[in-house]
Amino acid sequence: MPETLNVEVVYALPGKQQIVRLQLPAGSTVRQAIEASGLLQKHPEIDLSKNKFGVFAKLAKADAALRDQERVEIYRPLIADPKEVRKQRAAAGKLMKKGDSE
């Protein structure tokens, strides 16, 4: 087991994503990586008690131990409910088809 871990912490914004590469002691947790990244200071909207986060697109707990070469992702809350957006698109598609046949 390596003495240090090389990990990335990622936070995606609508126009760009920020990637911070870190070297941490072996046994470091998801929370420790996020705190060490400096992203909490750059983005005060991140609240570790509310935002979800994961490792390689799988939700993870703050105290989950990291392994070398892992990617920690901080997720933003959804702006719209995906189910509602799909319903609206489907309804709009039905209206277009009715309009096309006339």
Answer whether residue 14 shows pLDDT above 90: no
At 30-68, the pLDDT tens digits run 999 999 999 999 999 999 888 999 999 999 999 999 999
Mean pLDDT of the chain: 87
Count of CA atoms in the C-beta half-sphere (13 A) of 89: 7
Q: How confident is the model at residue 92 (pLDDT cuts 50, 70, 90)?
A: confident
Domains in the chain, CATH or no CATH each? 4-101 (3.10.20.30)
pLDDT of residue 102: 47
pLDDT of residue 98: 60
Kindly report the pTM of this predicted structure: 0.75
